[in-house]
């Protein structure tokens, strides 16, 4: 979880900063999260189960 130890407001700011850098600089952004809403913002969602890839999906951002 990229912001798991932060309060909600600060966590949201950090997430927005990460996505902004991704957009402006073209930087690759890799997130590991249990937050479905956050995952849906990404171009690709790779789901793991027991250490193996279970599925690869296209997110809303694609």
In the chain, domain spans: 8-58
* Whole-prediction pTM: 0.75
Q: Can you give the C-alpha Rg of the chain in angstroms? A: 12
pLDDT at 14: 92
- Measure the CA–CA gap between 45 and 42, rounded to whole angstroms: 7
- Tell me the mean pLDDT per 10 residues along the chain, length 62: 84 93 92 90 93 89 57
For residue 46, the cross-strand partners are 56
User: Distance between CA 43 and CA 62 in Å, rounded?
Assistant: 4
């Amino acid at each position: 979880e990229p912001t798991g130890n932060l309060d909600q407001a600060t966590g949201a700011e950090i997430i927005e900063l990460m996505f902004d850098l991704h957009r402006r600089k073209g930087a690759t952004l890799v997130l590991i999260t249990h937050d479905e809403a956050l995952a849906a913002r990404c171009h690709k969602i790779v789901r793991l189960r027991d250490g193996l890839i279970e599925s690869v999906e296209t997110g809303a951002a694609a």
